[in-house]
Each structure stands twice: as C-alpha cells, then as structure tokens.
Chain A
Amino acid sequence: MSISEVVQRARAAFNSGKARPLQFRIQQLEGLRRMIREREKDLVGALTADLHKNEWNAYYEEIVYVLEEIDYVIQKLPEWAADEPVEKTPQTQQDEPYIHSEPLGVVLVIGAWNYPFSLTIQPMVGAIAAGNAVLIKPSELSENTASLLAAVIPQYLDKDLYAVICGGIPETTEVLKERFDHILCTGSTAVGKIVMVAAAKHLTPVTLGLGGKNPCYVDKDCDLDIACRRIAWGKFMNSGQTCVGPDYILCDPSIQNQIVEKLKKSLKEFYGEDAKKSRDYGRIINCQHFQRIMGLMEGQKVAHGGAGDAATRYIAPTILMDVDPQSQVMQEEVFGPIMPIVCVRGLEEAIQFINQREKALALYVFSLNDKVIKKMIAETSSGGVTANDIMVHSTVHSLPYGGVGSSGMGSYRGWESFKTFSHRRSCLVRPLLNEESLKARYPPSPAKMPRH
C-alpha cells in the first residue's frame, strides 16, 4: 500500500465514526497496553539493538512512562471527553453554553530515535484517546524499534485507523505532502521547520518538540555531592542523547574543580572504572553522530574521559573544563556524553549568558538558596524547569511537556495531549422560543442610544 493509500484508509476509517465512542478508544488503549506487556522482551531487544539499552533502562526510561500514560488516560478519559459547561452572561441565562471536545481527524506523529518507543507511542496514546486516526512515523535511525512497531501495532490495534509508516527522508517527505489534521514531531530544529512548512500548506496545526542547549546552573551555595550525582545521572543516561538532559554546566570558577571531581565520583559509582564494560551505559545511535560528538572535543581541555571507539560507537563519559563559549561544543546541542563546563561569575552573569541564547527545552538550577532559584526562573525562559534535580518536571503527567521559541511549540502529556489532539468547540444552544426578549436587539436601532 502506498503512503497515500494508508492515509486515505485512515481518513475513511475516521469518517466512518468508529473511533467516536469512548469505549472503542479505551479498548484500543487497552490493546496497546497488552501489546507492551506481551511483547516487552521484543521491545527491550529492539532498544538494546538500537541504543544499547538494557532491560532496566528500557523499562524505567521508556516503557514505564507509556504504561503510566495509558493507565492515566483511560482513567480520566470520560471526564475529559465530557462537555464542559461555562459561565453564563445575564443575556444567556436560559441557554446552554459549553465547550464540546471533538477529535481532529487524522493525526501524524513523527518520532525521534533517542527514546524511540516512548517519544512515538506516548503522543499516540493522547491522539487515540481524543478519538483520532493516528499514523506514526518512527525514526529510521532507530531501525529495530521502527520495524518492531510496524510489525506489532497492526496485531493489537485497529488496522485501518492506526498505521505505522517506515522509512527515511524520502518517505517522510512523501508523508508530509499528505493532509493531516495535526502533526506532532519530535526532532531537531531543522526537522521542525520542514514539518511546519509542509503543515502550513494545509493549515495543519503542529506540536513541535525540538531541542536546544539546556543550561544547568550550579550555585556556590549548594550540596555539590547531591547536585553532581543528579547531574551525572541525567546527563549520561542514554549516553547523553536526551532532549531534556543538561547540555552544559554554568558555575563559578571557584567550584569548577570540585564539580569535576564529584561528577567523576558519581560516574565511577554508576558505570565503574571503564564505562565501556558497564551494562548500563548506552551507545551513540550511528557513526555520523559518533563523529560529530567526537569532533566537539577538539581543542578542549578534557578533565575526564575523551575516549571513543568507532566500531562500537562508544564514547566515554567526558567532562570538559574552562570551555570557551565561542567554541563549537557551545554552538550546537551536544546530544552526547560530553559535559562542557563554562565558568561564570555568579547568578547575574549566568542569567545573562542564558538569555543571550535561544530558549532551551529545559533549564536546571542547583542551589540551597530559594532566592537564587526564584530569580533564575523569573528572569529566564525555557520549555520547563527542574530546580535541584534533572528531568523530573518532564515526568509529571499533570505538567505540560513542550518547548518554547526554537525549542518548540505546543505541548502534550496527560490532559495536555487530549487537548492538543482535540478541537474544543464553543457551543451555545438556545431554545427556539422567547423571541420577545430578543426583539430589543433587532434594528431599527433607537434614535437615542441608551447610556452605558
């Protein structure tokens, strides 16, 4: 079947109305949950092959979030899908004004390769719950997960409404020519722009989860042991290939050495002397990215790590010190296991540094001083923030997950997903009576206007 035919089939299935009843949507979500439970081994196998994730990483960094989302959405769906009455005005006391949620139609989800399962399926959960037909286009870079999804999804979900489109740039280009009712894309800024240009042709609304350099400010007044452990955990998870991971550290020169030592200590605890031998340490997705990341180390002061093995696409957890803000490693999103440390003198300079750059997807600040945290948050912007930890804000399903500025637009997760993938239609229903009270509004208007 050509891509066009797959899209037409999904549209016809949507138009048939079969995804309207809540019960149907819940059944599909239960099917998805069953798929995950029954095929967990295969899923883990695919994630291991793509990114060297083991059962633990795969489960606790990806699978569990999707399962949680499914459970939460199933539970809340009746409440979310119900008509929402709104406040009436004096003129509309006899009427029923409310907001009615409806599906948009056919939704396209373009996934990313770094969390290839959760970044494709978690949005899909919301789109299904909102009653849409959903096409997913998993990243071809994480090819094992992509082919697994293509194989198993039709076995557990309605084949017409939900489909997987596999392929690389040519297939993505082709699918983007089709008309969708919403497109959610997780990827780089460049890809985000391509998607938005294509969407503009059909006036398709988009949600773009893009990237950026997520700053991590470490204040002098903080518990460096705890801070560095949390930072090391968030940074080197998935070998640094996490859109909400801390990209670089900003700190005062007086604590730089301590930070380096404590990061090293945590790295040793996590991954042993030689991370290459650790079951828990990931690999770079492909050779192109491997080369790119290795290149970022050139000319830098390597405080720790620095080794790489092209054959296995392994890059050691690496820390760079005294990094020059003009250098290449500070010009692009690292998206790898390199932590540059840039020295700034104090909070003001850190805030200025951050504000001179594009808005990031996430911002991190470590301090024991509430005032520092408040000021950092108040005087910067980013998709989201976690203070004194890493990434946690992106796991709470009552918080929207999304970027701002060049890190993206729109958001999803939980109720945000439901809203993103629904049209919330304003409705006013009035009885076809009571014409007397309305006569005042019709022309001819009085010669003298009443005073307001």
Chain B
Amino acid sequence: MDPFTDTLQRLREAFGSGRTRPAEFRAAQLRGLGRFLRENKQLLQGALAQDLHKSAFEGDVSEIIICQNEVDLALKNLHAWMKDESVAKNLFTQLDSAFIRKEPFGLVLIVAPWNYPVNLTLVPLVGALAAGNCVVLKPSEISKGTEKVLAEVLPRYLDQSCFAVVLGGPEETGQLLKHKFDYILFTGSPRVGKIIMAAATKHLTPVTLELGGKNPCYVDDDCDPQTVANRVAWFRYFNTGQTCVAPDYVLCSPEMQARLLPALQSAITRFYGEDPQSSPDLGRIINHKHFQRLRDLLSCGRVAIGGQSDESECYIAPTVLVDVQETEPVMQEEIFGPILPIMNVRGLDEAIDFINRREKPLALYAFSNSNQVVNRMLDRTSSGSFGGNEGFMYMTLSSMPLGGVGNSGMGRYHGKFSFDTFSHHRACLLSCSGLEKLNAIRYPPYSEWKQQLISWALGKQSCTLL
C-alpha cells in the first residue's frame, strides 16, 4: 500500500484546478509561511537546539532570519517576477508580441537535509510557492526535532490542498520517487544525488541538486594570519562544521602553516573559551553514526589543535590536523565536521593543480592581500561559488545564486533564482493575423525568381524569413 498516492493525487488535482495560479493565492501562502516563522520562532530554536545543539544566535542568523528575508523578498517582488518578460524581436517579428511567460511546473518535491533543517527546507519552499507550484516537502528524518515542527505545525499555516509534508527515511523516499513530480530540488550528498537524478529520469523530471564536496581554502603567504584565522575558523566551526559550503581543508606553505596554527588556536579560544565543550556557541554532531565517522578521522595526520571528543554528547572539539597525506580518509571524503586539515603546497600554482585534480567543489576560498593571487585562483579553477578573503558570506546576498557544478551539483536557487528555477520559461509569440502578403515569400514553390529576389534583397547577409 503506497502511503503517498492519495496525497499526491489531491495535490495534482488542486494544481489542475488552477488554484495556485493567482498572485493573491501565492502571496497568501507566503504570508502564511512568514507567520509560521514569526509565531514559532522559539519552537524552531528549540528544535534546532535539540537536533544540533545550535545556539539561538546561529539558528537566527543562518536559518530563521534567512527564511524570513526570503519570504519578504518574494512578497515584495512577486508581481514583478510573475510578469511576462518582453524580449528583443528580429526584423520580421517587429509587429508581433514576443515574451517569456513564467509558469509553475506543477507538483514540486523538495528533499531536505539535516544540517540546516529549517533553511534548506523553507528557502526552496518560498521559491516553489512563489512560482505557483503545489509542493511536497520531505524534511530529513535525521533532524527529528525540526522534522516534527515542520510536519505538525507548518501545514496549519498553508493551504493543505496544495501543500503536504511527507515523512520517512531512505526506503520511504525511494517509494516517493516512483511517483511523478514536475520538479525535484534535492540537497544532500553526491551519492544520493545520483540516485535522485536516476529516479527522476523515469518521468523526465528536471532537477536541481545541491550537493557537496571538499571545499578548498587556499591561504597565501602574503596575508595577515590572525585575520585569516578568524575568518577561516568561524566559517569552519560554525554549526560544528556541518555546512556544505564550509572550508573543508586548508592549502598553504609550511611557513604559513607555522604562523596560522597559533592564530587558529587564538581564534578558537576567543570564540569558544578554554573549554569549548562548555561553550553555548559550539554545536554538536547530528548523530552517533556521524560522530563515529568523524572520530575516526581524528587519527589522520597529527592533531595540532583540539582532538578531544565525548561520545555521550556527540561532541568533537574544534580540531586542526597537520602532516596529513592526500590518501588518508580525511582528504578523501567531505569532512562535514569541526576538523580542519592543513595540506602543504609550495605556492599558488601547486595549490591550483591540487584543486584541479579533484572534483569541482561547492565552494572555494582564497585568502591573500594580493588581488592577482585571488583572481588567478578564480580564473584557473571552478567551483559552485567563490569567496575571496572571506568565507560563505555570499550566502547572505539574495542577488547571488547558490548552486554547484560538476560533482557538487546542478541548478541553483535563492531569491529570484528560486522563482526562476521553479518556473517553466515558456517562449511566446503572438503573431499578427494580417500582413499575409509579407509572408508570401516563405511559401513554396521556391521558384528561381523567388530565390533570386530574396538573394538580391538580402545581399550577402543571412536573414530568416520568418
């Protein structure tokens, strides 16, 4: 017995009825979502604390406020985004009306991960709703606290004929994917991304996959180690390292490493105190499985900073590893934890080669006082996004899309990019019914004189006849 058939049928019928098309309906849904965020802020903060030991500050700054901003942006711009987009016409369509119509795809599925369980579920939801789709949300079963709030509270704020939350683990998700969706947005690992895309093939469903990778962080010799350490440490240990765009490993010279280590220690102590385990600002690993995985990584290379762990709390100290070999596990998989390995390279070119030998990451960072160094790193590599002298601050700009490339994903969203991702851009041309005489030239028979007339009229220039 498939638990999803009835729900999906209901949503599909609702979409077919046209209910989600008018701007007023979409705006009402977005306002509902905004109210959900405002009225349940404490509940959500509590869920995030339960799931990830996330501080209220982190929960606000990286999840709740970001969702609120997206809702506000969508409400403010909904009409503008929905408008038909006029396009340039060619010579023969001057009297016609040519535009791009944005249409909802239909039934959208959003499969979300556990690391930013509010943000990575609701930000895509904003775009899908604004674009006029019916939406099925599949929050992660691993972040149970948040899953509960989303399943039990969120639907009360939205029109449930057009929105549903479905629950379950990998098996249920597999069952869900047998059904037809008109768009799927998935955030998670590349391994599961492949499974999702393969499943989407059955119904030729387009997908956006926000995946992961090992995000390199190049630290040039020409820089102030403390400034760099502050930034790198903050972005690394935020959410206990469980961030898809966090710097995964550092590339620097041995000389810079020697200056960076005390600076990193200083930053960590300033941020989390002498005993990070008692800091309210440091989170915990999501579950025991990941805790074990990360604890095993601690035996790679040599622990230069941190290295402590406490299984009872799924706590791992902010850690820096040195003398790491490329073949060790910590350099083979995305770390997704508060461990920062430092790899030595001699200069920018070696760093670039190192990076280019590996899969394209979701993010790439370069720290240097020299613009040339930063630009060269940008020009010679590829990644989803790029931060020069900064971590994933770009995530706060809704004017920039978030998306991967290669193994780190395909497609993008945030702000207007979400709206565009969840819309079909339909090319429309409304032709004049009259002026048929002008068209005469395009019809057969293509006699000699017609061909000559055209060639003469158009000269050497090519020109379409339509």
Contact = CB atoms under 8 A, between A and B. Distances in A.
B325 interface: no
Interface in A382-409: 382-389, 391-402, 404-406, 408-409
A432 B367 contact: yes
Interface string A27-52: 00000000000000000000000000
Interface in B203-256: 203-204, 206, 209, 211, 223-224, 227-228, 230-231, 234
B201 A399 contact: no
B347 interface: no
B445 A398 contact: no
A389 B93 CA distance: 11
A423 B234 contact: no
Contacts of B429: 384-387, 389, 392-393, 396, 399
Contact of B430 (A99, A100, A373, A398): A373
Interface in A92-109: 92, 95, 97, 99-100, 102, 104-105
A272 interface: yes
B419 interface: no
Contacts of A54: 446
Contact of B426 (A271, A384, A388, A443): A384
A393 B378 contact: no
A189 B410 contact: no
Contact of A426 (B65, B402, B433): B402
B442 A222 contact: no
A307 interface: no
Interface stretch (A194-202, A248-256, A335-343): A194-202
Contact of A97 (B106, B273, B394): B394
A452 B445 CA distance: 72
A444 B280 CA distance: 8
Contact of B464 (A60, A197, A355): A60
A227 B75 CA distance: 42
Interface stretch (A203-211, A289-297, A320-328): A203-211
Contact of A278 (B105, B445, B464): B445
A438 interface: yes
A425 B433 contact: no
Given A91-B396, A92-B397, A444-B281, A203 B407 contact: yes
Interface string B430-446: 11111010010011111
A1 interface: no
Nearest to B360: A423
B428 A400 contact: no
Interface string B106-120: 100000000000000
Nearest to B388: A429
Nearest to B363: A426
Contact of A57 (B96, B389, B446): B446
B60 interface: yes
A387 B97 CA distance: 10
Contacts of B446: 54, 56-57, 279-280
A229 interface: yes
A120 B227 CA distance: 52
Given A68-B464, A379-B18, A401-B427, A428 B394 contact: yes
Nearest to A444: B281
A192 B204 contact: yes
Interface string A12-23: 000101001000
Task: Output the residue of A17, A197, A387 with the most chain B CB within 10 A.
Answer: A387
A449 B57 contact: yes
A432 B427 contact: no
A441 B396 CA distance: 13
B436 A377 contact: no
A5 interface: no
Nearest to A366: B433
Nearest to B204: A406
Nearest to B424: A404
B451 A71 contact: no
Interface stretch (A82-90, A121-129, A145-153): A82-90
Interface residues of A, number: 110
B197 A203 contact: yes
A229 B440 CA distance: 10
B49 to A, nearest CB: 13
A313 to B, nearest CB: 19
A431 interface: yes
Contact of B442 (A193, A233, A399): A233
B227 A269 contact: no
B433 A388 contact: yes
Contacts of B411: 205
B445 A400 contact: no
Interface string B27-59: 000000000000000000000000000011110
A394 B271 CA distance: 58
B382 interface: yes
B271 A444 contact: yes
A429 B389 contact: yes
Given A97-B400, A385-B426, A426 B393 contact: no
Interface string B341-377: 0000000000000001000000000011100001000
A305 interface: no
23 contacts: A63-B462, A64-B463, A97-B400, A181-B406, A203-B190, A205-B411, A230-B439, A270-B445, A278-B444, A280-B445, A379-B18, A382-B426, A389-B431, A398-B88, A401-B427, A424-B401, A425-B383, A441-B234, A443-B234, A444-B272, A444-B273, A444-B280, A449-B56
Interface of A: 15, 17, 20, 54-57, 60, 63-65, 67-68, 71, 86-89, 91-92, 95, 97, 99-100, 102, 104-105, 181, 189, 192-193, 196-197, 199-201, 203, 205, 208, 210, 222-223, 226, 229-230, 233, 266, 269-272, 278-281, 355, 368, 373, 377-379, 381-389, 391-402, 404-406, 408-411, 423-433, 435, 438, 441-446, 449, 452
Given A54-B446, A271-B445, 12 more contacts: A63-B462, A88-B397, A368-B433, A388-B430, A397-B90, A425-B383, A425-B405, A427-B388, A428-B400, A429-B389, A432-B367, A442-B230
